[in-house]
Chain A
Amino acid sequence: MDPAIRLADISKTFFRDNDRKNGDEPEGIPVLKSVTLDIARGEFVSLQGTSGSGKSTLLHIIGLLDRPTSGAYHLLGDDTAALDDDHLSDLRNKNLGFVFQSFYLIPYATALENVVLPGLYSRRPQAELTARARTLLEQVGLADRMHFKPARLSGGQQQRVAMARAMLNNPDIILADEPTGQLDSTTSGEIIKLFRQVHESGTTIVLVTHDEHVAAQAQRIVRIHDGRVVEDKPTGA
């Protein structure tokens, strides 16, 4: 079977807009340098590295939010270079789930409405979506907070809503960028427990983190330094 994620010789260089305008030879900033990485289906991998090493950039490429400057990326067997924007949107919608450091919940919508959101772009019946969202909110322990708006939820609760949202469309892969970065250690532990539960149900997880304790919960740690993979080892977890 194809791996969930196959990155072959991926590079990413950012160009400043000014360089191009001035007609100068664009002098890009290389952020990822020839990254090659396979992640199998059902794996739980954490990406580690110092600030500025390129973790988020790599995760954005994996999440189809950005395209590499060079190299090939196959997601679930599909060559992503060949796909147009609407195709990429559909893949993000059906096959990927995102969890971000700062939650990104819609402030004027309730927890339930936030969880339903990815379903609105997938043409599933509203009743089914609502039922699924309720089940997920119960699973993450927010059965009694479904109709609260984000402002009335704690950070940990907001991140649980975001996780429920990421799971709504039963994605193959969940991508998380510092999901515990804004949480204290107790709350952070609860969120990581949730990730493990999701992983046990068969979902592939790629989690970016600074935190050694959090990283240790994964099966495999990939360490990035200055845009290159410098270490790739199983944790034995």
Chain B
Amino acid sequence: MQLTLEFGGGLELLCESVKVHNVNVDLQNGAEKLNMKDLLCWVRTNLIKERPEMFMKGDSVRPGVLVLVNDCDWELSGQLDTTLEEKDVVVFISTLHGG
């Protein structure tokens, strides 16, 4: 499944400072759909190169990270259960505090 994954607010530092990743995520054998829970595992294995605790906590993202599926907060689409479709854009962004 073709997806665009974007990292911002400093999270890109965990994946070699690359902000935009056009990726092809294979469905697990037998699975018919990919949801956000699967995608987080995939991201952690394939894109996060350092300090995974800065990205995830338990099986979700760490506090302070907003997840947006097609420019929409994942809270509105079912969080970890959000089902992904071909060509979806998923953004992971860390909240900023500076000023």
Q: Do A and B come from one complex?
A: no
**Which residues of B line the A interface, CB within 8 A?**
none
Binding site for B on A (CB under 8 A): none
